[in-house]
Structure 1
């Protein structure tokens, strides 16, 4: 194993280089002390995807590291949520008396309020660890308690918030929906309302419901959220309302979010771009407005919003000179993913400019881990299907 270049790549945060080097590693090397050294280095650097790759390939996450540290307890003590999840990803029998899950839970509980070294992760997430591990161990906490954990930081981008919302979302039952709606109706606390709306959004995925069934509260949720599209003033809450409403409503009702396509807040615009689709479910009177909104969003100053809007054109058969002009303008976009989507949209409409751009992008791909490699594979498949079925855009 070429350990030195891997360690250097981990230190500079270059996961792609690490994965490229790992492609040539043998099973015997992955069972060596070098692999354990690499696992420890990736964990210390917070490179959870590298940790997960190594654990999936049977590097032992229970073996003490060279300094004697227990990997699982080390990550739990420091609140390194994603590293810990990666270390536990192959762990079996979490309900056993001394399972790594139980040890990690006790460690995270003890670490709260202590002066544990968090230099490896400046945003420790002990509460997220506790929330997830309790769920694995069958400990069900009431919604108010999970919300209280999220509001310790009151940051929707913190792992403590994510874990609480995620676990409530898994329940997908009427009781949790009623709780979230009641909290969201109370305007006395913005943080509580944000959390409740996020919970409503996650509940909409129906994670505990058969994939062919709607959650039982689908219509109630849509009716509750629809007026908020017009009245919500907080941009973060509004973006969540857009996400949640479009998850519950029928596709033809999605046009209700068009009013926010030019919102001043970038998160709101991105939510609109993510939830607009050009489909036959949208009536012919509304279709031009949807198409016009997506074309405007395709020129958004935020790269991810442009990419999202351009991607919607790869999913549609609508073809107009104006639409092609928008995509052609982004063949030289400064954002790599936006260039790919623009090229794909043109290529799928039989436009040689798109095909040529895809060839140029493909020539710069080194291997299957290179940025854009996976998306190019998807596009190649779509082009093949179009060629075989004769399904051309018009």
Structure 2
């Protein structure tokens, strides 16, 4: 294992390079001191993908780091939520009195009580650690207490916020929905309203992820949620709240075409978060969806790389094939963002355009191994191309599979 190169990749934040280098690591490499040193460096640098890979591949999470530092203690003291839970994923029984889970919970509680990390950027996620560990240990707090934890930093992108809203979303009951609806209607407090809207959204997500969930089952308040959210699609002025409203409406509304029609007018919104949300929701499965097609073509030129890649992906899977669409795909064959470039090439290749096949071949030639970025998506595209070829040989229509 090339530890200097791996440490350099971690230091510069290049997860892709680090994972490509790790592909050739042997069991002996991952059982040695170098792997533990790399785990410590990745954890401290916040390189979560590298941490997750190392933990999954059995690097010793209990072995102390340099200076005798205990990994779980370090992560809990520093509020490193994702690192901590990667480390704890190897723990066998979180309910025992001396488990790492209980130790981490005590450390995080002490950190909050002492005000540790005040003023740090980004703020440590001690409250998220407490929320998630309490849930694992069967301790469930009230919605008001969970919201209070989220609003300490009042950042919807922070782990403290997400842990609270996810814990509430998992409850998927009428009492939590009524509480969230009241919060979402509070025009006097924007952060409280944002949290309420997020909770409404995650109630449906939590329900969908529930074990043994019937695919056609609905929450008892599905219709009520749709009717509450529908007018907000037109009246909501806060961009972050609007992005949540769009996501929640799409989640609760069981009619995809109705969802598309309801949100189309936001494709040209000035806020990138709103456009990003639209790029994940819009679709055009038939040639009649002209407005959706126009919106996706617009989003395919978005300055935010992920948004245009999402839009291009939706266009790839469309049944539409027009000169304008091919022109858009061709324009992105040299897109600096790899995911967008792959989708553009796929869009042409699946329409029997040799330009797409050529670029896919070029991208494939640059792969080092299955940890290379784009490897998985290119595998999906190869499968679609194979299915398309088989369908064509049998004399069936050759529109891209949806």
Normalized against structure 2, the TM-score is what?
0.91
Aligned to 1:245: 249
In 1, distance between residues paired with 2:176 and 2:243?
21
**Matching of residue 271 in structure 1 with residue 277 in structure 2:** yes
Aligned to 2:365: 363
Report deviation, 1:290.
Answer: 1.1
In 2, distance between residues paired with 1:31 and 1:328?
47
Preserved contact between residue 19 and residue 372 of structure 2 (Cα < 8 Å): no
Deviations for 1:40-96, whole angstroms, at most 9, x for unmatched residues? 222222222222222222222123223122110111001011111111122111111
**Partner of 1:83: helix, strand, or coil?**
helix
The 5 A counterparts of 1:212-291 are 212=215, 213-249=217-253, 250-254=255-259, 255-279=261-285, 284=288, 287-291=289-293
Aligned to 1:341: 343
In 2, distance between residues paired with 1:203 and 1:325?
41
The 5 A counterparts of 1:307-322 are 307-322=309-324
**Partner of 2:378: helix, strand, or coil?**
helix
Report deviation, 1:304.
Answer: 1.8
Q: 1:332 to 1:156 in 2, by over 3 A?
A: same
Q: Kindly indicate whether structure 1 or structure 2 has the higher relative contact order, using CA contacts under 8 Å at least 6 residues apart.
A: 2
Is 119-128 or 223-232 further displaced after alignment?
119-128
In 1, distance between residues paired with 2:251 and 2:49?
29
Preserved contact between residue 44 and residue 120 of structure 1 (Cα < 8 Å): no
Aligned to 1:92: 92
**Matching of residue 303 in structure 1 with residue 309 in structure 2:** no
Would you say how many aligned residue pairs link Structure 1 and Structure 2?
390
Unmatched segments (≥5 aa) in structure 1: none
Is 94-103 or 42-51 further displaced after alignment?
42-51
In 1, distance between residues paired with 2:345 and 2:19?
28
Q: 1:194 to 1:118 in 2, by over 3 A?
A: closer
Preserved contact between residue 278 and residue 312 of structure 1 (Cα < 8 Å): yes
Report deviation, 1:115.
Answer: 6.4
Aligned to 1:166: 166
Q: 1:365 to 1:116 in 2, by over 3 A?
A: same
Aligned to 1:72: 72
In 2, distance between residues paired with 1:392 and 1:61?
50
Q: 1:237 to 1:221 in 2, by over 3 A?
A: same
Aligned to 2:382: 380
Aligned to 1:202: 202
Preserved contact between residue 386 and residue 392 of structure 1 (Cα < 8 Å): yes
**Matching of residue 3 in structure 1 with residue 3 in structure 2:** yes
Is 234-243 or 175-184 further displaced after alignment?
175-184
In 2, distance between residues paired with 1:88 and 1:220?
39
**Partner of 1:204: helix, strand, or coil?**
helix
Q: 1:54 to 1:121 in 2, by over 3 A?
A: farther
Aligned to 2:398: 392
**Partner of 1:107: helix, strand, or coil?**
helix
Preserved contact between residue 279 and residue 316 of structure 1 (Cα < 8 Å): yes
Deviations for 1:295-331, whole angstroms, at most 9, x for unmatched residues? 1111222222211111101222121222222222222
In 2, distance between residues paired with 1:252 and 1:326?
24
Preserved contact between residue 23 and residue 371 of structure 2 (Cα < 8 Å): no
Normalized against structure 1, the TM-score is what?
0.93
The 5 A counterparts of 1:94-243 are 94-114=94-114, 116=116, 122-205=122-205, 206=207, 207-208=209-210, 210-212=213-215, 213-243=217-247
In 2, distance between residues paired with 1:208 and 1:256?
28
Report deviation, 1:36.
Answer: 2.2
